Structure 1
Amino acid sequence: MHTRRLQTDRLTQQILEAGSGPLVLLIHGFPELSVSWRAQVQALADAGFRAVAPDMRGYGGTDKPSDTSAYGILDLVGDMVDLVRALGETSCVAVGHDWGAPVAWHCALLRPDLFRAVFGLSVPFQPRRPKGPPTAAMAALAKRAGLGQLYISQFQSPDAHEAFDADPATALRKAFHAYDGATPDGRQSTGFLPEGESFLSTIDDDASLPPWMSETHFREYVAAFSAGGFKGPLDWYRCLDANWAATAFLQDARIRVPAAFVVGERDPVRHYAGAHEAGLKDWAPDLRMQAVIPGAGHWIQQERPEEVNRLLLEFLRGL
């Protein structure tokens, strides 16, 4: 397993890779890095696959464009297309977690010739709403439920990243704690923020690292986000409405390649994205696996690496 940087059409991307064989691309989410996939990279390499996990656009050792509009879904899918090409490959399986899952779903939706299968973790495919941009729908949902606002709505502010940049270690520790499966119900985040509160202020100051997160591993995250900041990662959220506008041509499109979806039973994201789990097969007709891991939270590939690896390899071997 080693790390290197390579030039694609538009970016210099840093990747973690190991193994040889059919290519499997591992796409991380927020606030993670390529190293979030170490257990999967090793397991895939041992099983005869070529595993590649990039630091995504705006993260870690990969380039960080300054313009918010550079973080749209079409750019993110384009980065993965460019990466596969730069690796000298002509096909791969896209695996995505958290924000990486929408990227992986859209890789399969837009380029089924290149991405021959898709494996989503934690965030199911969410089809484009014909009724209007997503941030308005999120605000209406929170208002109807009397729950203040969803943190994603708060992230739309152009200066929302400043609170994270002020103390990256505290921000990361709180985020990992609040979305972990080992965190008790009363201390997990629901994603909804009372009026006057921020994402970070709703999480207890004594939040501890999850049991799977070593201090050494945590320092890797702190170093990366201290150097690169949180603006790029939060710009992904700020492009949600622009993504909706740019993908009108995908309205009612379905994922036709083999697909799988795995989620943790105690993943807080299910509070606001879980409704899409039930109808997933309508949008991915070749859905071959849909699993819920008991007791697991959001950081599923790190919380439960053995179970995730078993399911992932089962899916890959069945292709």
Structure 2
Amino acid sequence: MNRMEVLNGNTKLSVLIDGPDASESLPILCLHGWPELAFSWRHQLVHFAKAGYRIAALDVRGYGDSDRPDEIAAYTMAELTSDVAAVIDALGGRAILFGHDWGAPIVWQTSIRYPEKVAAVAGLSVPYRPMTDTSFLDIMRHVHKDSFFYQLYFQEPGVAEAEFEGDPDALSKIYWGISGEGMLAQPMRPKPKGDRFLTGMVRPPQLPDWLPAEDLSVYETVFRRNGWRGPLNRYRAQDQDHVERGPVLNKHIAQPATFIGGALDPVRHFVPGVDTFATAGAFCDDFRGATIIDGAGHWVQQEAPTSTNAALMSFVRDL
């Protein structure tokens, strides 16, 4: 496994890459979510490389060894999808995309904004929903006007940064809290407006098998070094995404698509009373099916790598 650097204009992007330099198959590019790294795809990199695929995972801008601009405007979907397009070009000009958490909306939108570069797309944890003329954050501002909602809490620069940077166990609390084990041990409950993100979250009594201390240390070392501003700026750029929604407004996914989620992922019931996973393919014109993995929570490709890899491999081989 090696790293390569790709430039998108003046933005340096760091990419983990594995597998043969020459392959008859299209390359695969993986996009992580919040608060993660390209390292989050370690199991997929090894698995697909052994199967003969060229596979890469991007440190999304703001994370890891990629550039971390301070400006919120640097984290719009237009900017992030242009990063993905630049990496696809470095891989040969056309690729299959896998995306988890925020990485899923990024790969969904890349497939719309750069259709000639994307052969197929797999979203993990976050099903595709097209942008409409109604702003997501405005909806949340109305729905949660009297209660805590983490994405609204993240909007004021410096507030969430101070909380996370002031708690050395922040990452272990986040990873454990919305994993399958964490959701079973301590289900999420509504919090009052004015609360903080980590309130009520605990460090796991012992680290789960899927997140040994040496792996957790990789994340903690990088976030101590880089801070949290870049990762949080993605949430703050959503109002600008709404202004720039024209190219993706009400668009469907045209490429072959699939969805993978953990059965215990809280994203599944992001809208109370609605199972968003049940309609994962509603806006995909060539949907190849959904895989819901029992016992897994939000970090599905890390919690259940064998099942996730099997679903992804089946999707790729049937293209």
Alignment deviations for residues 18-45 of structure 1 (CA, whole Å, 9 cap, x no partner): 1132210010001110111111001111
Cα 1:276–1:248, aligned 2, differ >3 Å: closer, same or farther? farther
Kept in 1, the 8 Å contact 2:269–2:276? The answer is no
- Secondary structure of 1:75's aligned partner: helix
Q: Distance in 2 between matches of 1:184 and 1:254?
A: 32
1:27 aligns with 2:31: yes
Give the 5 Å matches for 1:130-209.
130=133, 132-142=134-144, 148-159=147-158, 160-167=160-167, 169-185=168-184, 187-189=186-188, 192-204=190-202, 208-209=206-207
Kept in 2, the 8 Å contact 1:174–1:208? The answer is no
The one of 234, 237, 244 equivalent to 1:236 is 234
The one of 98, 101, 113 equivalent to 1:95 is 98
Deviation at 1:300, TM superposition (A): 0.4
Kept in 1, the 8 Å contact 2:61–2:80? The answer is yes
Q: Distance in 2 between matches of 1:277 and 1:109?
A: 21
For normalisation by structure 1, the TM-score amounts to: 0.92
Q: Distance in 2 between matches of 1:108 and 1:290?
A: 18
Number of matched residues? 312
Identity %: 34
- Secondary structure of 1:270's aligned partner: helix
Alignment deviations for residues 242-294 of structure 1 (CA, whole Å, 9 cap, x no partner): 11111134222111000000110000112216654343333101010211111
Kept in 2, the 8 Å contact 1:119–1:259? The answer is yes
Q: Distance in 1 between matches of 2:208 and 2:242?
A: 35
Q: Distance in 1 between matches of 2:282 and 2:306?
A: 29
AA at the equivalent of 1:136: D
Q: Distance in 2 between matches of 1:51 and 1:315?
A: 15
The equivalent residue for 2:51 is 47
AA at the equivalent of 2:177: A
Alignment deviations for residues 159-201 of structure 1 (CA, whole Å, 9 cap, x no partner): 222211223x3110110011111124352435x4323321111
- Secondary structure of 1:203's aligned partner: coil
AA at the equivalent of 1:112: P
The equivalent residue for 1:294 is 294
AA at the equivalent of 1:44: F
AA at the equivalent of 1:200: L
AA at the equivalent of 2:171: L
The one of 114, 121, 128 equivalent to 2:117 is 114
- Secondary structure of 1:291's aligned partner: strand
AA at the equivalent of 2:290: Q
- Secondary structure of 2:180's aligned partner: coil
The equivalent residue for 1:74 is 78
Q: Distance in 2 between matches of 1:314 and 1:66?
A: 40
For normalisation by structure 2, the TM-score amounts to: 0.92
Over aligned residue pairs, what C-alpha RMSD do you find?
1.8
The equivalent residue for 2:318 is 318
Could you list the runs of 4 or more consecutive aligned residues of structure 1 that deviate by over 6 angstroms after TM superposition? Answer: none
- Secondary structure of 2:156's aligned partner: coil
AA at the equivalent of 2:83: D
Q: Distance in 2 between matches of 1:173 and 1:126?
A: 30
Cα 1:258–1:206, aligned 2, differ >3 Å: closer, same or farther? closer
- Secondary structure of 1:40's aligned partner: helix
Alignment deviations for residues 124-172 of structure 1 (CA, whole Å, 9 cap, x no partner): 1121132x221121133335xx7x12211111111222211223x3110
Q: Gapped runs of 5+ residues in structure 2?
A: none
The equivalent residue for 1:38 is 42
Deviates more, 1:274-283 or 1:284-293: 274-283
Kept in 2, the 8 Å contact 1:44–1:51? The answer is yes
Q: Distance in 2 between matches of 1:178 and 1:140?
A: 26
Deviation at 1:14, TM superposition (A): 1.4
AA at the equivalent of 1:9: G
